[in-house]
């Protein structure tokens, strides 16, 4: 006995919904620009380009999180909220300010990788390596920081 038309439509619809849900939660292949204009009303540094492809070896929960009673309960496939939805410009109770959260998350990991693998096999920790000069802006000298 063959499948009826309503069953086939239901199966196709379900497959499409699952495909769309997976596509919506998959890390982008291209760079993501981090600028958080909703939190930082005036940007003092240029936005940062983040590339998921360079971070494939790490679990998504190394960066993405949703804390409940001090435990990260975020799981791969769940919605990824913008960092500024929880982190404000300044620290609020136990929640780091957004700038400190980004710097701690990224730079601490890059410093750890530099110790474990060597500086040439880790990420940047210098301001001008993540925040390139804005058009027409004089590049910062690293020793100024």
Q: Label the pairing between strands 67-68 and 48-50.
A: unpaired
By three-state DSSP, how is residue 34 classified? Answer: strand
Q: Can you tell me the distance from the alpha carbon of 98 to that of 86, in angstroms, rounded to the nearest whole number? A: 9
Q: Has residue 84 been placed in a domain? A: yes
- Domain residues for the domain of 132 are 28-144
Contact 48, 34 (CB under 8 A): yes
| pTM (2 d.p.) | 0.70
Full DSSP string of 49-85 = EE-GGGGTTS-GGGT---EETTEE---TTS----GGG
100 Cβ neighbours under 8 A, 6+ residues apart: 91
Q: Has residue 4 been placed in a domain? A: no
Indicate the burial class of 128 (C-beta count within 10 angstroms; 0-12, 13-18, 19 or more).
Answer: middle
Q: Can you tell me the distance from the alpha carbon of 18 to that of 14, in angstroms, rounded to the nearest whole number? A: 6
Q: Can you tell me the distance from the alpha carbon of 109 to that of 95, in angstroms, rounded to the nearest whole number? A: 19
Q: Has residue 16 been placed in a domain? A: no
What burial letters (b/e) apply to 8-32, b meaning 16+ CB within 10 Å? Answer: eeeeeeeeeeeeeeeeeeeeeeeee
Q: Has residue 20 been placed in a domain? A: no
31-88 tens-digit pLDDT? 899 989 899 988 888 999 999 999 999 999 999 999 999 999 999 999 999 999 999 9
Q: Has residue 15 been placed in a domain? A: no
CATH at 115: 3.90.10.10
Q: Has residue 22 been placed in a domain? A: no
Q: Has residue 17 been placed in a domain? A: no
Whether the per-residue pLDDT at 14 is higher than 90: the answer is no
Confidence of residue 143 (pLDDT cuts 50, 70, 90): very low
Contact 100, 112 (CB under 8 A): no
Total domain count for the chain?
1
Confidence of residue 2 (pLDDT cuts 50, 70, 90): low
Q: Has residue 123 been placed in a domain? A: yes
């Amino acid at each position: 006995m063959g499948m009826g038309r309503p069953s086939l439509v239901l199966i196709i619809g379900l497959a499409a919904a699952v495909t769309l849900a997976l596509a919506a939660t998959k890390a982008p292949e291209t760079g993501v620009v981090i600028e958080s204009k909703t939190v930082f009303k005036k940007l003092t540094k240029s936005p940062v380009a983040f590339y998921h492809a360079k971070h494939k070896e790490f679990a998504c929960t190394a960066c993405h999180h949703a804390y409940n009673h001090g435990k990260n309960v975020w799981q791969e496939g769940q919605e990824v909220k913008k960092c500024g939805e929880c982190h404000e410009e300044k620290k609020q109770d136990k929640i780091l300010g957004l700038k400190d959260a980004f710097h701690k998350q990224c730079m601490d990991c890059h410093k750890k990788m530099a110790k474990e693998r060597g500086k040439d096999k880790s990420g940047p920790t210098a301001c001008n390596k993540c925040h390139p000069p804005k058009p027409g802006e004089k590049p910062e000298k690293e020793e100024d920081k």
